[in-house]
Chains A and B, each alone.
Chain A
Amino acid sequence: MATATSEETTRPAPLGDELLRVENLEKHFPITRGIIFQKEIAKVRAVDGVSFSVRRGETLGIVGESGCGKSTMARCVMRLLDPTGGKITFDGQDITHIKGNDLMRVRRELMMVFQDPYASLNPRKRVGYIVGEALQVHKQGTPKEIKGRVQELLDVVGLNPEHYNRYPHEFSGGQRQRIGVARALAIRPKMIVCDEPVSALDVSVQAQILNLLKRLQREFDLTYIFIAHDLDVVRHISDRVGVMYLGKVVEIGTALDLYQHPKHPYSGALLSAVPIPNPRAARSREPVVLEGDVPSPINPPSACRFHPRCPRFQPGTCDTIEPVLERKEGSASEVACHFPLETWPMSDLRLPSGSTPR
């Protein structure tokens, strides 16, 4: 079983204790057939045995391609979806299956920022209401106190407090994302899950929001799970990074280790596919281009799920024995691979001949 138990060696920085622990998390969506007598014919294994932990005050980045299960994982952690298996412990409490008032209490400390700043704000409500709604729901103060608090929040995220009475359509994309951040901050959560918070924004505005998130983390001692498909953005904001592929974490480690010495061939391929904004460097390298598409999570490949696309695939090992997420010899990150990369950068990910599984 893969668990993130030994970050002590990966991250010696003085961080707080563990705030969130996810163990073997599974979320399978049933595919049914029939109208009256529904019969389950298959399952989409969106998240299939994911384990990691997040410490107080740190940012865990999650990267992966569309369909790898990163958003489903986030929604399970938020308890917006009910996990079909595994265990989620938040702040010492098992929250996997809690309900009612218990769940309500946890929701006060766990908030989310969504990807699309146009779709995630109710167009018919004023900004004051949107940001203050959580305060009302959790009965944190009189209407007057709430208004004062909302104006303070708008100021904190860099918006004009006078804009309390405006509607979302009166703001630009970047400003709307600031509103989304203010809403998440309103009830002083311990952890914020950011699901692609800057993907819909232009680079110049994206940088404003990333700086804002970093500043707020320092000021309010926040812990982030930061999901994005942009690897540069994730490297910039994260302390540790997990790479997901088809519902599994294939590699997890500090941002520095993972970006400078990726061990999993998929992490390597992802990194080498990122365009570099430096023409001379971009044109002198030979990127590793993966062939084919991500397979369907309904019927994932056996054993290592990356094996059909992997340049290091070894018949008899990779397609029969499932690799465990663990720290290998000579590697700082944890990696789920039988034949991790030896060096980086490398133009040819294929295995040197005569290798044996490590």
Chain B
Amino acid sequence: MALLDVKDLRTHFHTEDGIVRAVDGVSFSVEKGKTLAIVGESGSGKSVTCLTIMGLNSGRRIDISGEAVFDGEDLLSIPKDELRRYRGKRISMIFQDPMTSLNPVHTIGRQLREAVQLHADVTKAQANARALEMLKAVRIPRPETRLDDYPHQFSGGMRQRVMIAMALINNPDLLIADEPTTALDVTTQAQILKLMNELQRDFGSAIILITHDLGVVAETADDVLVMYAAQPAERGGYEDIFYRPHHPYTWGLLRSLPHLTSVGEDLKPIPGAPPSLLNPPTGCRFHTRCPYAMDVCTTVVPEFALVPGSGEHRAACHLDEETKQREAAAIASETLADSA
């Protein structure tokens, strides 16, 4: 059984301009010890999906429906104060910006201890020992001397390590990482990804990795969910998404990467910009930017259907299977040729 099973999740915000359907029918599941990557452009609903699961979106002006079953319990229906027992204990989250997600007026030792003491009845000394152990695990040099330092005394990469230490301090079953390396340089990014990988191996946590970088996805993900305009466009194993992609949006994302384009050749961008979620296009939401759009795409919402002959590979597109396979093969050969 999956550790987290999300079904038909919808998060709608009521604003002065109308209803923003930030998440509109998203389903996925995450297995124990595996990494699910959620990819998409800014505003595609990746972060809102995860914030909703964590119960961090709430209020009178928000409608949430669907279910998010975590280890047999629906997180969306349990009361708020009970949810607090999950957050930071069994499910924890790393945010994009390590600068703003640590409290600048407390030492990191205090912040790490707090994470332990909130969920377990331990003494300060025990919590301190645990904090020290985690700082060692994320490879902060001379951890004993750094517990009493404030966040501003750490570099960006070091702060992100502290965030990871804090997220993993209670051995969570599920770690949600929202663009954990976007603010970091490539060499630091490589350090952090390697670290997350090792920690996942040692602690057996499942990871949901939100990112817009397909390179990061290729390096780390087991399963991939591609989102477009608040809805899933495609979902499958990493081999499915990179070597057998079945949605024109996924094709567009892969083709617009400079990595796969030979020098001197023009890049192949996806035309236009993502649509407004106040008033999304009818039918398939991608039809306004899709080079393959047909009449049916403008009116009928495509089913998020299983790709024939696959296990858990789904895509929402009206195109015929033959065209999809032809395009998928073309992209896969470009991708694989590049590795030579």
Contacts and interface: CB of A to CB of B under 8 A. Distances in A.
Do A and B bind?
Answer: yes
Contacts of B82: none
Given A275-B215, A279-B239, A236 B187 contact: no
Contact of A65 (B141, B158, B185, B273): B185
A328 B29 CA distance: 54
A277 B257 contact: yes
Given A202-B42, A236-B261, A276-B218, A208 B186 contact: no
Contacts of B260: 277
Contacts of A302: none
A233 interface: yes
Contacts of A273: 186-187, 189-190
Chain A's interface size range is: 35 or more
A204 B269 contact: yes
B151 to A, nearest CB: 15
A207 B269 contact: yes
A275 B267 contact: no
B263 A277 contact: no
A6 interface: no
A292 to B, nearest CB: 8
B238 A205 contact: no
A277 B215 contact: yes
Contacts of A232: 257-259
Contacts of B219: 275-276, 279, 282-283
B258 A281 contact: no
Contacts of A292: 141
B179 to A, nearest CB: 12
A204 B270 contact: yes
Contacts of A206: 256, 269
A175 B186 contact: no
Nearest to B252: A204
Contacts of A233: 258
Interface string B42-66: 1000000000000000000000000
A203 interface: yes
B218 A279 contact: yes
A211 B266 contact: yes
Given A65-B187, A211-B269, A275 B213 contact: yes
Contact of B336 (A278, A283, A293): A278
B188 interface: yes
A80 interface: no
Interface residues of B, number: 49
A300 interface: no
Given A172-B273, A175-B273, A210 B267 contact: yes
Contacts of A214: 266
B218 A65 contact: no
A214 B261 CA distance: 14
A307 to B, nearest CB: 16
Q: Which of A65, A173, A293 has the most CB of B within 10 A?
A: A293
Contact of A282 (B187, B215, B254, B270): B215
A301 to B, nearest CB: 16
Contacts of A255: 263
B137 interface: no
A193 B194 CA distance: 35
B253 interface: yes
B186 A203 contact: no
A235 B338 CA distance: 14
B157 interface: yes
A107 interface: no
Max chain B Cβ within 10 angstroms of own Cβ: one of A66, A175, A207: A207
Given A279-B239, A290-B187, A210 B216 contact: no
B41 interface: yes
A270 B263 CA distance: 19
B339 A281 contact: yes
B339 A276 contact: yes
Interface of A: 65-66, 172-175, 202-208, 210-211, 214, 229-233, 235-236, 255-256, 269-270, 272-283, 287, 289-294
Given A211-B266, A229-B186, A278-B339, 17 more contacts: A202-B212, A204-B256, A205-B269, A206-B269, A207-B269, A210-B258, A230-B258, A270-B187, A273-B187, A274-B215, A275-B193, A275-B213, A276-B219, A277-B259, A283-B219, A293-B157, A294-B155
List the 4 shortest-distance A-B pairs measured between CB atoms, nearest first: A275-B215, A281-B339, A207-B269, A204-B270
12 contacts: A173-B42, A206-B269, A207-B270, A214-B266, A231-B186, A235-B258, A235-B263, A274-B186, A275-B189, A275-B213, A275-B216, A275-B218
